[in-house]
Amino acid sequence: MTSVTGAEAAVRLLQAHGVRHIFGLCGDTSLPFYDALARLDHGMEHVLTRDERSAGYMADAYARITGRVGICEGPSGGGATYILPGVIEANESSVAMVSITSDVPVTARGRYPLTALDQKALFAPLTKWNTVVDEVAGIPLAFRTAFRAASTGRPGATHIGLPYDLQKQSLDEADVWADPAHGSFPAYRTGPDPDAVTACAEAILAAKRPAFICGGGVIISGATAELVTLAELLDAPVASTVSGHGVIPDDHPLAVGVVGANGGTDETREAIAAADLVIFLGCRAGSTTTEHGTTPARNVPIVHIDIDPMVVGANYRIEAGMVGDARLCLIALTREIAARLAPRKTEAAARLAGLRQAKREAFDRLAGSNEMPIRPERVLATMQRLLPDNAIIVADPGTPCPYFSGHYQFNRPGRRFITNRAHGALGFSLPASVGAQYGDPAAKVVAVMGDGSFGFAVGELETVVRLSLPITFVVFSNASYGWIKASQKSGYGGRYFSVDFGRTDHAKIAAAYGVKSWTVADPAELDTAFRAAFSYDGPTLVDVISQPLEDSAVPVSRWMG
């Protein structure tokens, strides 16, 4: 029998699943694993981060861009607690991730060793599947199960706890094998029930003005082409959730744009209100997307299609539902409808063109403003003009998410926009942009954030400089936690409490890390700064002295009017 250590088995199992990049941070209990990574010829790159939270966010964005299972790792104790935000964000966003944390020795359990905690209990409510290995022979099965759970059905995050002593013990090398299909997602797609396909088709064919609202599940499934084919057959408008931005090119005649309370506008709401049936596809129809269940209205017939059976019909009474992979569902549905219907030609495209023009004219009026502090619309318009269409925008909550959701044009289908919509934690975009850059090295990656988010993740600028990643960071600097301040204005009579902080010179901080930086207070200087930043062959940062969010025309419905 040829034997390998538990740590060597872990490395080989990652390799066997086709892993190319690992994002993580070292610790005492991870030493055998790191030593195995150092010694073995495995072809994987380990990206050292400065915070375990960042490792999780990097793995999340990497998985969204590549379709491969994201891998993050960290040590026991504090490391296990710090990695949690990235794990739960991926899990709730249906992004396949395997998180690995080392743990105290099995033999030390119950003896109060340093960094001991119940990792299995800690990760249980936050993951799709989770274990802490109890014996070295269980390591191969744990890895295979973690990858299988992460990549199949509704994708999600899984967790493996690796005790220190098991990493040094031996097991049979013959047990170290994997199904490489589980290294990407969605793996082993599930198709729909034919009866459900028929029921959905009949409900859709009974409508004269159907419309789609599509979520991130369509992009995860790689179903954008199939969606456009069916939409064109029906001549049906296609709207998206924030996470679904990219399901259809924004310049397509049937594209509505992002709908809902975060990024939606009067024009997108009008587009959905005109529908006599709404098809939810690859989304949960949650409170943000539906403006708390008001758009579409409760009397509008609904067809709901999703990979998760618990989602279908959870928030709206439905005429028909279908459970399965979005691409397989669309293929089956298109086949059924095409057999019964000649391609329609309605007034949908002309109506949408008018709504898009009205929305764009309102945006352009503000984007042309020379006001100081600089309006966010001016920043978006400048970026839109200068960035290539293969650019990837990674946005934090606050100012960036609603503005880029509502007004930035992504004219290439697929995942070009990443934001953490599941839990909306600050400090996401800076580290997540690292994962996105590794996921698509040829793309221009831009991370946009507020100054509150910058403070959460500034340490990762060292990582970006060390790795020479040509990411551009854009900071909307308004010296406050803008989202909360805007909510205090709209809902609490403008009683601002504990939301303002001191102005930071983000450009000087970035420069101290070795990032080429600019501060822009005059909108006339935006064009020059962004041209220089986007063309520079290295990390750059543009610090924009921007309008406070509570004074802006941000597309968030509860603050408008």
Condensed to tens digits (0 to 9), the pLDDT of residues 342-377 reads 888 889 999 999 999 999 999 999 999 999 999 999
Of 101-110, 387-396, 499-508, 551-560, least confident by mean pLDDT is: 551-560
pLDDT averaged over every residue in the chain:
97
Q: So what's the pLDDT on residue 376?
A: 98
DSSP H helical segments within 181-256, as ranges?
194-205, 216-221, 224-234
**Domain topology for 194-350:** Rossmann fold (3.40.50)
- pLDDT score, position 42: 98
Q: Give mean pLDDT, residues 456-473.
A: 98
Residues 6+ apart with CB under 8 A from 391: 416, 443, 444, 445, 446
Average pLDDT over residues 295-302: 97
Half-sphere exposure of 423 (CA within 13 A, CB side): 16
Question: Mind giving me the DSSP string for 449-493?
Answer: EEHHHHHHHTTHHHHHHHTT---EEEEEE-SB-HHHHHHHHHHST
Query: How much of the chain exceeds pLDDT 70, in percent?
Result: 100
**Partner residues linked to 445 by β-bridges:** 392
pLDDT at 561 over 70: no
Helix (H, G, I), strand (E, B) or coil at 282: coil
107: its two tokens? 């033999």
Compute the average pLDDT of residues 64-89.
98
The Cα 400–Cα 128 span in angstroms is 29
The residues spanned by each domain of the chain are 3-183, 194-350, 368-559
pLDDT attached to residue 282: 98
State the average pLDDT over residues 413-441. Answer: 97
Residue at 283: amino acid letter: C
The confidence score (pLDDT) of residue 8 equals 98
Distance of alpha carbon 427 from alpha carbon 424, whole angstroms? 9
Q: What is the mean pLDDT of residues 49-60?
A: 98
* Token pair of 1 as six digits: 């029998």
In this structure, the number of other CB atoms found within 10 A of the CB of residue 27 comes to 22
In 3D space, the residue among 236, 220, 280 whose CA is nearest the CA of residue 93 turns out to be 220
For the segment 164-168, the average pLDDT, to the nearest whole number, is: 98
State the Cα–Cα distance between residues 135 and 142, nearest whole angstrom. Answer: 11
Q: Do domains 3-183 and 368-559 have the same CATH topology?
A: yes
Q: What is the pLDDT of residues 210-252, one digit of tens each?
A: 999 999 999 999 999 999 999 999 999 999 999 999 999 999 9
pLDDT digits (tens, 9 = 90+) for 180-214: 999 999 999 999 999 999 999 999 999 999 999 99
**CATH number for domain 3-183, candidates 3.40.50.970, 3.40.50.720, 3.90.1170.50, 3.40.190.10:** 3.40.50.970
C-alpha torsion 94→95→101→107, nearest 10: 40
- CATH tag, 368-559: 3.40.50.970
pLDDT at residue 1 tops 80? no
